[in-house]
Structure 1
């Protein structure tokens, strides 16, 4: 057995947790090469763990750090168990951070309350997925959310198709309920008569489009209020989106119908409240039930006497004979002037009145 440096044996024991005798055995087998000895030790442990799963929380991984590194601050099992095993949130933002983000940190040796110990890094993770984290900056969170959604089959829409979907969501469906007349029995079952013109199609009733706008300081649904990324409900909301599913919140609001979720990237903008729509007040007049009706005023333009005489009349007038003019007041308050000869009768006057106002054809004429 060659003489081994006591510091190398001590470091091997601190990392692997074995006795000095076993440490000397591994170091002697590799001619004192601490790195190769530790790798061989963990390789043998991995082969053993394939047959029987580990019972403890600590997982053995190949060592990446050399024995010459200084010891770092130790972590207790309770605190390390709550942390994610793989950190991948900044892998897209900075390529230089990949080396530190894609390896799993383990604590080996020492005691949980202090003492010697060393943190070693495991191998890079395989099949890593981008997991959006609301605690990250809006740039990273929104970018990772879009990438996760596209990885689950989300479609990138062009401007034309996107405007078409938004226009469908703004269309209002016609009223398809039942109405009652005054005096009808409200307890009676209404008989609905659906027509092709007013009955909405099944696709338009069961489809709803929701726009999720991602702002710098939060997100909003359509033109709704601002919501924080860190709310518990928001965490469940975005977990469903990154998994390629419709959030339950939107399914409940749609009554179980089909929901189209569209994401809009506004992470470079601050949220601003949508403008309040201007409501034009009612400017007409109303009538209460039981009040007398207002006087009906004719909206027909008044014509002058000369214009009345120029109209063609069904009564022929002979200008070579004596001619007279008769002014007639109609029931609606208007007047007409009829040119007649002295030989015309009352029947001719009636025909002249009817030709001016056809509504007077069915009325009775009284002579005083």
Structure 2
């Protein structure tokens, strides 16, 4: 996990590293007392100073060099091209472990930690007080470079670039709520509403849900019952799943943002809601490398190892 310095300094660093001292006594004797209410002496601030110091000393990550010479010998995995009858097949590098390959394919996540007067925030998350022992443990983990993935909302083993913002003299101000362009429900253009149906209080869907459709044919009844309503919890780990539809247009792709707890059935429901008639014709959804059929709708994204994957729809 790399750390980058803040874009600007709020004050001289000596003001935050030294506690506020009071002196009391007479001409020949006296004592020096540190103000216990000064924020710089609250729990976790020693770790905060270490993180700020490392960020200032470390600087930005080095730019990749383009002039490096490489060996002429080929190493790594490759793809065995397939055809309409046989799917393509990935041949892994026999000298590289699966964990190393997965780590190389993960893109670096950028996260920002902001240090306020009484606590710290990660991205647009809530304020975490310095004097909370649990939050102090989180700071120590970040300082050691092993922050919990759930705190940074990343996958296990994913590289993280941590950007530090220093606002120790400011009270915490919550970020303004993001404006959602679309809230509510609607109908995709060209889709027909089921005959004799009207929206009722019992059929209302949550904001952002796809509209449900009636059975287009008897053969699609089992798959059309799959729900197309799911919500994404942005405070939990998320991933993107790219879906290639079998509609004759090779360039038409969908990208679904999902939590790792969503299921294969949610992917199927997402496909059914993408355009009219998807659920009327039986189909399978398959991974590409390696090629396998996802026939267990109850399996989660994490269990099926579908993080940042490509899913292909094939008609039966």
**Structure with the larger strand share:** 2
TM norm structure 2: 0.32
**Larger Rg computed on CA atoms:** 1
**Structure with the larger helix share:** 1
